Amino acid sequence: MSAPLNLSVVVPLYNEEESLPHLVEQLLKALRPTDEAFELVLVDDGSSDRTAKVLAEVSAEVPEVVAVLLRKNYGQTAAMAAGFDVAGGEVIVSLDGDLQNDPADIPMLLAKLREGYDLVSGWRHQRQDAALQRKLPSRIANRLIGRVTGVRLHDYGCSLKAYRREVLSDMRLYGELHRFLPALAFIEGARITEVKVNHRARQFGSSKYGIDRTFRVLMDLLTVWFMKRFLTRPMYVFGFGGLLAIAASLITSTYLLMIKVMGGDIANRPLLTLAVVLGLAGIQLFCFGLLGELLIRTYHESQDRPIYRIRETLRGGRAG
């Protein structure tokens, strides 16, 4: 592929030996008729079946395929991060490898992205999954994530998304943060929208998600909320909490001191223990805030990362 890459399609795979040949066929059918110079970055996330072998065979036959084989099963977030790092296109599209996302929707996402957006998210408005096990929890999670992050999308869990490369280059993924990519991009100032996409019933295998994912998602949601509110100012949350605790400790201690001066007995009063605990907790929270400020400054200065992002610069009426 001598032409500069316009598009990289990143697909994480885990035990998808039956779906993989059909997926590649559908991707080629959707993308080859376009004018895009593209590559298919297929990431095997330590599958326990023949996915890696099938992927090696496909990569030997299809020039557009870039096979990435991970040493073990790291999880979908790590597999997507590996695919993003390997991808060379100016635009990156992600989707699942189980054939439930429709590759024919990719040109529509690209057209929407070129209207001036930085991230286009798919919305499975007619989702072909079980109502109670998948659709209802997903609907609740989408509303909760939207309220916490401020990015209102109907379907955070849809893997079919299109990104400009510069949006992904500033983000580091871990945990289950792949589903929070729109929120992380919003923190960086990205312009985000969503489009309705097709969703198909699973043809091969079974879902890789379990109920244990709920806990991980909630923990990552708290992480994203903290990053959105206090990423560059941790002292605001820890320091404020510490000052409140110290103030409550001083008020309680003053009250107990007045009782002691008046001849009262405070040795066995629970308020004495509370005053001591509040004072210690307040000092600890305040110190956490100071340490957080130092860590943030070390983080930005060591990587030479600015605390802002410039969309464009105008010099003499020209954009740079």
**CA atoms of 167 and 186, how far apart (whole Å):** 9
- The CATH number of whichever domain residue 115 belongs to comes to 3.90.550.10
Range of the domain at 102: 7-230
The answer to whether residues 152 and 218 belong to one domain is: yes
Q: Within a 13 Å sphere around the CA of 98, how many CA atoms are in the beta-carbon half?
A: 19
**CA atoms of 18 and 20, how far apart (whole Å):** 6
Task: Output the pLDDT for position 219.
Answer: 72
From 230, 259, 280, the end of a domain falls on 230
Total domain count, the chain:
2
In a domain, 72, yes or no: yes
Task: Output the pLDDT for position 277.
Answer: 93
Task: Output the pLDDT for position 28.
Answer: 96
The answer to whether residues 112 and 59 belong to one domain is: yes
Task: Output the pLDDT for position 211.
Answer: 53
In a domain, 311, yes or no: no
How would you write the pLDDT of the chain (320 residues) with one tens digit per residue?
445 569 999 999 999 999 999 999 999 999 999 988 999 999 999 889 999 999 989 988 999 999 999 888 888 888 888 889 889 999 999 999 889 899 999 999 999 999 999 999 998 887 765 555 566 666 777 777 777 777 888 888 888 999 999 888 877 776 667 778 888 888 788 899 999 999 887 776 655 555 556 666 777 777 777 777 776 677 777 888 888 999 999 999 998 888 888 888 887 788 888 999 999 999 998 888 888 777 766 765 566 655 445 455 455 544 54
In a domain, 312, yes or no: no
**CA atoms of 185 and 189, how far apart (whole Å):** 7
The answer to whether residues 62 and 109 belong to one domain is: yes
Task: Output the pLDDT for position 221.
Answer: 75
Task: Output the pLDDT for position 164.
Answer: 93
The answer to whether residues 209 and 263 belong to one domain is: no
The answer to whether residues 245 and 221 belong to one domain is: no
Task: Output the pLDDT for position 42.
Answer: 93
In a domain, 182, yes or no: yes
The answer to whether residues 129 and 165 belong to one domain is: yes
The answer to whether residues 141 and 270 belong to one domain is: no
The answer to whether residues 200 and 297 belong to one domain is: no
Amino acid at 168: L
In a domain, 181, yes or no: yes
From 175, 203, 230, the end of a domain falls on 230
b/e map of 184-203 (b: 16 or more CB within 10 Å)? bbbbbebbbbbbebbbeeee
The answer to whether residues 177 and 270 belong to one domain is: no
In a domain, 271, yes or no: yes
The answer to whether residues 125 and 258 belong to one domain is: no
The answer to whether residues 146 and 222 belong to one domain is: yes
In a domain, 316, yes or no: no
In a domain, 112, yes or no: yes
> Are 67 and 58 a contacting pair, CB within 8 Å?
yes
The answer to whether residues 162 and 20 belong to one domain is: yes
Task: Output the pLDDT for position 1.
Answer: 42
Task: Output the pLDDT for position 4.
Answer: 59
**CA atoms of 267 and 252, how far apart (whole Å):** 14
